Amino acid sequence: MENARDSRVRVMVWAGVVAALTLGFAIVPFLTDNLSFMFYMMLWIIMASAFNFVAGLAGYMPFGYVAFYGVGAYATGILYKTLEFPIPLALIGAGLTGATVGLLLAPTLRLRGVYFGIVSLALAMAAKLTISLMPADLTGGSLGLILSSANDPLAAYYAMFVVLLLLLATATWLSMSRTGTALRAIRDDQEAAAVVGVNVVSTRMKAWISAAVFPALVGGVEAWYTNAIDLESSFNLLITAKSIVYAMAGGLGYLVGPILGSGLLYGVDQLIWRQFPTLNLLLLGVIIVLLMLMLPRGIVGAFAQRFSKLRKYIP
């Protein structure tokens, strides 16, 4: 059947992308002094791609996405510093904490549209306030936590690399399996999906938990990499903003969209405007507006619209 070949091509394109990313990020530390640039490139690819799991595949816009990141950072810090877990266990703990918070917040999934987005934002603020109310000898209070004894940027780099591999595997599973088809159907019309037999609640839960675990892991690894955790940077709304912008710029709903978007925009972000933080912020805002007005489906989405014949090959 002709269709089977089409989907084989699509799988091969995706396999190529995965192989290129794996190889590229695996050998980079041997080629460059600028480890930090590539570390943050991975970070944003993961953040934007995991955002795509809920936004692109399931149609939810969690404006409080940063909550998972912040919770992961603090879980790592507390487990390592206060409870003296080794770093790998602390990171696993961060992932589990992310999943737990995701489960706790799952009831909000029955809210729709902007109600969900706004409540998610309020929950992120509530998570930040909750941590600030926890005893200071656990969280470091307003000073935050310093993990200097764990300092090992190269190891942290490869920890992020492992998270990237996990992300690519999850992305493959979520999008190319039956779950992926069910998710897209829910995104387009939840009620109609239920009427043709899709179990809406359990399907979107898979996407939701996946989207909660990755930012938590990323928050933990980033804390390890920089050795510092504090409330303002761990729960900075700009983390949500950048995840959204990178994912949307590439194209929500496609696996390659957030990867392309993060690669391009983060690169531009770093290379040109690093010196002017405020101007950078202004540009971020302007880019969001322009993207939404000019390219609402992102680069990949616009390409797919323009060259509809090739669409079936885009993973």
Least distance (Å) between residue 132 CB and other proteins: 6
**Is 104 a residue that touches other proteins (CB under 8 A)?**
no
* Complex with other proteins: residue 27 or 129, whichever CB lies closer: 129
**Cβ(214)–Cβ(263) under 8 Å?**
no
Of 92, 89, 117, 88, the closest CA to residue 105 belongs to 117
Among 24, 86, 88, 285, binds other proteins (CB under 8 A): 285
If one asks whether residue 103 binds other proteins (CB under 8 A), the answer comes out as no
Tell me the window of 10-18, 59-67, 164-172, 219-227 that interacts with other proteins (CB under 8 A).
59-67
CB–CB of 32/265 below 8 Å? no
Shortest Å, Cβ 121 to other proteins: 7
Q: What is the dihedral of CA 80, 164, 127, 200, to 10 degrees?
A: -130
Residue showing tokens 């209070």: 141
Q: Which amino acid is at 172?
A: T
Restricting to residues 214-273, name those near other proteins by CB under 8 A.
237-238, 241, 244, 248, 253
Q: Write down the least CB distance from residue 113 to other proteins, Å.
A: 5
Q: In whole angstroms, give the CA distance from residue 253 to residue 255.
A: 7
10 Å Cβ neighbour count for 294?
Answer: 8
- Going through the chain in order, the beta strands assigned E by DSSP cover 145-146, 228-229
Residues 144-203 that bind other proteins (CB under 8 A): 178, 181-182, 184-185, 187-189, 191-200
The single residue listed with the structure tokens 């928050």 is: 219
Residue 87 vs 131, nearer CB to other proteins: 131
Among 165, 284, 295, 302, binds other proteins (CB under 8 A): 284
Which residue, 26 or 281, is less far from other proteins as judged by CB? 281
DSSP calls for 175-187: HHSHHHHHHHHHH
Tell me the sheet residues that pair with 228.
Answer: 146
Cβ-based nearer residue to other proteins, 19 or 310: 310
Residue 281 touches other proteins, criterion: CB under 8 A? yes
Does residue 8 interact with other proteins by CB under 8 A?
Answer: no
Q: Which is nearer to other proteins, 60 or 161 (CB)?
A: 60
Residue 251 Cα to chain centre, angstroms: 14
Half-sphere exposure of 168 (CA within 13 A, CB side): 21
Using CB under 8 A as the criterion, what x/- string covers residues 18-47 for binding other proteins? ------------------------------
Q: Does residue 213 contact residue 95 with C-beta atoms inside 8 Å? A: yes
d(CA 252, CA 43): 18
Residues of this chain that interact with other proteins (CB under 8 A) are 1, 3-4, 6, 59, 61, 63, 107-108, 110-115, 117-119, 121-123, 125-126, 129-130, 132-133, 178, 181-182, 184-185, 187-189, 191-200, 237-238, 241, 244, 248, 253, 278-279, 281-282, 284-289, 291-293, 296-297, 308-309, 311-312
